[in-house]
Amino acid sequence: MPDKGFVRRVGPFQATAINMSQMCGIGPFVTIPLMVAAFGGPQAVTGFVAGALLALCDGLVWAELSAAMPGSGGSYVYLRQAFQYRTGRLMPFLFVWTAMLFIPVGMSTGIVGFVQYLGYLAPGMGRTTGDLIGLGVIALVIALLWRGIEHIARITAVMWVVMIVSVGCVIVASLTHFDADLAFTYPSDAFELTGNHFWIGFAGGLTIGIYDYLGYNTAAYLGAEIKDPGRTLPRAIVFSILGIMTIYLLLQIGTLGVIDWHRMTDPDDVASTSVASAVLEETWGKGAADTVTVLILITAFASVFAGLLGGSRVPYDAARDRVFFRPYAKLHARHRFPVLGLATMGVVTSGGFLLGRHTDLATLIQLLTAVMVLVQALAQILALSVLRRRQPALRRPYRMWLYPLPSFVALAGWLVIYGYADKNSPGRHPIEWSLAWVALGCVAFVVWARLEKVWPFGPKEISEDFLTAGAAGTAEAAGDDPAPGEPEPVP
């Protein structure tokens, strides 16, 4: 699909770095205690393994779709192409509607973690001061993103290196002071599969686990800015998941081998809020803990940076195709980035940050995951099968391995997360809130469709842009040149 607004300048290393920066971020440093609390012991490692499996299976869905349709906006593009035949623009509209909420809310969890770890360096910091610092960090991220993509790629690569160093320090410190008894001594009922307690804990742990892996799709949102996307995007997705999986397992097991898991469930213990700092203080001393905490803060910043970079492209592509409010289609005259999309997500991130600060991080994770599941995760799995049937001639540089098995595994994982959301967040009603938000989006769509005179108030407009480009043999329009000797896709 031609995209005249963006320039393809992001290569394979930068794409993988963008994904990994978004995936790692502050996530594991703040969720290890949450995972331990969900499982009730060091068997919490199970949650990271299950999360990795779900991320890999869902990542293969993203890999096929992003390679075949490398446009800006990610899921918006795929849902638009798959569901236009029956419901017109309803599904892409609903996706943008929900993405404008769940993407920046996800970024707000990173800022909550940032302030949480900053509290280790400044234990006397009050709540109001923390709120103001968090809002200031969000403003700084937006200011840095107010630049051209070529500068952003270089900044992201540097921050990715900082992320690797900070995580590596915690892993090395924990493994060189590892106590197997701490890490592998489980409660007597740890794996009692017949009890409901285990499965509620497993669902909660899976939610936290997939939250930690979210970001493997960030580069796909930048599809129109990726060099050779048919090769780069699938590799960036798979490599980033496998790399982060290795890092997370080493980090989780190593931490449990240094810090008694009971400390992580004590709200008055530093291990419950800044577990990585606690590991460094226990092993290498307070000076090393302070230094690595600074690196962790930079890592958290990089995660939010990468997430808002990719997310701001979603409303741009939708507005350009008249599926969202038209002002979102405007690019910055000089640096060519979506102005209103970036500004809006900055505002919503600020609101989510304040909500998380005045409730709790686990609730924020449950809410954003529940909203995301319905219109992105489940709908996109269905979209893969719909497109294989509706557009068999679509040029597919990558095809899902073992199709459709990974789709079924991903579907089961997302349904478990959604089905147990209310039980893992009692009194907060994430399922009801997610349904209400989607219902409100349907009402907004009806109003918008009436004004725009599109389906159901006008004819359906079928636009098979990527299929047309492939059929015409214009590989440049699809943004990918087939490699020498690469077999043609089977219709």
pLDDT tens digits, one per residue of 471-483: 554 444 444 444 4
**Taking residues 305-328, what's their average pLDDT?**
79
Q: How many CA atoms lie within 13 A of 408 on its CB side?
A: 5
- 8 A C-beta contact, residue 475 and residue 482: yes
DSSP codes joined into one string, 49-77: HHHHHHHHHHHHHHHHHHHH---BTTHHH
Indicate whether 203 pLDDT > 60. Answer: yes
Q: Is 304 exposed, middle or buried (0-12, 13-18, 19+ CB in 10 A)?
A: buried
Q: Specify the pLDDT at position 474.
A: 43
Low-confidence winner among 156-165, 340-349, 386-395 (lowest mean pLDDT): 156-165
Residue 323 pLDDT grade (very low, low, confident, very high; cuts 50, 70, 90): confident
**pLDDT confidence of residue 152:** 61
- Rounded average pLDDT over 11-23: 83
CB 388 within 8 A of CB 229: no
Distance of alpha carbon 199 from alpha carbon 229, whole angstroms: 39
Query: Within 10 Å of residue 158's Cβ, how many Cβ atoms?
Result: 12
> SS3 sequence, 277-321?
HHHHHHHCCHHHHHHHHHHHHHHHHHHHHHHHHHHCHHHHHHHHC
Q: Is 410 helix (H, G, I), strand (E, B) or coil?
A: helix
Tens-place pLDDT, residues 113-148 = 999 999 999 988 888 999 999 999 999 998 888 865
- pLDDT at position 431 over 60: yes
Domain 12-469 has CATH 3.40.50.300: no
Mean pLDDT of 91-105: 89
Nearest to 15 by CA among 217, 246, 303, 313: 217
User: What is the Cα 327 distance to its own chain's centre?
Assistant: 26
Residue 169: other Cβ atoms inside 10 A = 21
d(CA 298, CA 56): 27
Q: Which residue has the higher pLDDT, 464 or 473?
A: 464
For residue 35, what are its two tokens?
Answer: 């995972």
Provide the pLDDT for residue 149: 56
Instruction: Determine the pLDDT at residue 479.
Output: 43
Q: How far apart are CA 223 and CA 231, in angstroms?
A: 12
Residue 482's pLDDT is 44
What the block records as the tokens of 478 is 């699809």
What is the reported pLDDT for 488? 40
Is there a contact between 149 and 9 (Cβ–Cβ < 8 Å)? yes
pLDDT at 277 over 90: yes
Structure tokens at 106: 């996800």
Higher-confidence residue of 11 and 149: namely 11
Q: How close are the terminal C-alpha atoms of the chain, in Å? A: 19
Average pLDDT over residues 40-60: 92
Nearest CA to 47 out of 212, 184, 189 is that of: 212
Alpha helices in 359-474 (DSSP H): 361-372, 379-390, 405-419, 421-424, 430-452, 465-471
Looking at per-residue pLDDT, the higher value among 156 and 490 belongs to 156
* Non-local CB neighbours of 404 within 8 Å, separated by 6+ positions: 385
Indicate the domain borders of the chain.
12-469
pLDDT at 470: 58
Burial 377-406 (b: 16+ CB within 10 A, else e): bbbbbbbbebbbebbeebbbbbebeeeeeb
Q: Which whole-number Å values give the CA distances from 362 to 157, 168, 285, in the listed order?
A: 30, 26, 29
pLDDT confidence of residue 267:
86
Question: For 170-187, what is the mean pLDDT?
Answer: 92
Helix axes 90-121, 339-358, angle to 10 degrees: 50
Q: Between the CA of residue 450 and those of 158, 170, 172, 174, 441, what are the distances in Å?
A: 47, 55, 59, 59, 14
37-41, 125-129, 192-196, 382-386: which is most confident: 382-386
Whether 168 has a pLDDT exceeding 80, the answer reads yes
Cα 72 to Cα 77, 224, 311, 400, 486, distances in angstroms: 8, 5, 10, 21, 25
3-class DSSP assignment, residue 136: helix
- Of residues 79 and 198, which shows the higher confidence score? 79
Whether pLDDT at 240 is above 90? yes
| Token code pair at residue 299 | 């890592």
Would you say how long the chain is, in residues? Answer: 491
Q: Is it the case that residue 377 has pLDDT exceeding 60? A: yes
Over residues 137-165, the mean pLDDT reads 76
Q: 70 pLDDT exceeds 50?
A: yes
Q: What is the mean pLDDT of residues 88-106?
A: 89
pLDDT at residue 148, rounded to an integer = 56
C-alpha 210/C-alpha 370 separation (Å) is 12
Tell me if 445 sits within 8 A of 90, measured CB to CB.
yes
Give CA–CA dist 489/466, Å, rounded. 14
221: which DSSP letter?
A: G
Measured between alpha carbons, how far is 126 from 420 in angstroms, rounded to an integer?
34
Please state whether 427 falls in left (phi above 0), alpha (psi between -120 and 50) or beta. left
Sequence-separated (6 or more) residues with CB below 8 Å from residue 286: none
